[in-house]
Amino acid sequence: MTDLLNLTPPALAGIDGPAPAAGGRARPGRTFEVRLPVGLAGDDGVHRDAVIRKMTGREEAILADRKFQRNGGKLVTELLAACTESIGGQPADRAAIRAMTSVDRNYLLIRLRAVTFGSELEARYTCPACGHVELVTEDLDELPVRQADGSMDCEVDLLDGYVDRDGELHTDLRLRLPDGSDEEAVASQMRDNASTGKNALLGRCIVSLGTVPRSRIEAMGSRILADLTLGDRRLIDRALAEAAPGVDLTRNLECPDCGHGYSANLDLSNFLSLA
């Protein structure tokens, strides 16, 4: 599962970038309409239409604020709350941004970057076969976006499964999509150790695991994920990648030097910089 929340954003290298390209329809001033892949649930249904505005010097101050530097989840919440004017026609506050799925938060970050700086992103990829470094200009407007259709939960049929304290094997795992509150809660663990951070994040997102009682799932949390075999953890990664909606950040590349084909995640090193 790939997201943008582990970035340590540099100071913004100037706000007045190229004119924004496609991907959001301009409204008067500096605002743009976007359609969320998942949407925010409300009393009257799911709202997917959002309005964002370009980042300004105020957002540069947010990115430079030390109190957000150690918690990427809170940084993203603060940034998106500042730049999201409405969701479903209603004002978007921090609570609404925090309740959004990581899928939608990542999508909004990409659209926010595109409307502020333009859709072109300079990326660098290294061939795993020969080490050749290739510079590629990526177009954020061309990234494929999978819209949610039906249930948001992800079902995984574990191969080795989880053995509870009574020796019973459980193989039917159901996960929900993480949201902003999950990101904020596990940020310190994710920063210190990506693996334990991932366990903590997914542990919060377990909806059900065989017949394990809900109280036991909540008490065990990340320890359940830590007990799974690496094979089952790969199954979870694959299921989330294939089933989850949102922006596909996987790039399929061919090395111009040796011809080796490989896949890599979109290089986000210059995500919030014009340099």
Percentage of residues of the chain with pLDDT beyond 90: 70
pLDDT at 2 > cutoff 80: no
Percentage of residues of the chain with pLDDT beyond 70: 88
Determine the 3-state secondary structure of 44 from DSSP.
coil
Rounded to whole angstroms, the Cα distance separating 201 from 271 reads 24
Whether this model's pTM surpasses 0.75: yes
pLDDT at 156 > cutoff 60: yes
Question: Domain spans of the chain?
Answer: 25-146+248-265, 154-244
Average pLDDT for residues 255-269, to the nearest whole number? 92
Looking at residue 22, its pLDDT comes to 39
Task: List pLDDT tens digits, range 4-50.
Answer: 544 433 333 333 333 333 344 444 558 999 999 999 988 888 999 99
Looking at residue 65, its pLDDT comes to 87
- At 175, the pLDDT band (50, 70, 90 cuts) reads very high
Looking at residue 9, its pLDDT comes to 38
Q: Which residues of 48-72 are buried (b: 16+ CB within 10 A; e: fewer)?
A: bebbbbbbeeebbebbeeeebeebb
User: Which neighbouring-strand residues pair with 145?
Assistant: 247
**How far does CA 214 lie from the centroid of its chain?**
26
Task: List pLDDT tens digits, range 51-70.
Answer: 999 999 999 888 888 888 78
Looking at residue 29, its pLDDT comes to 58
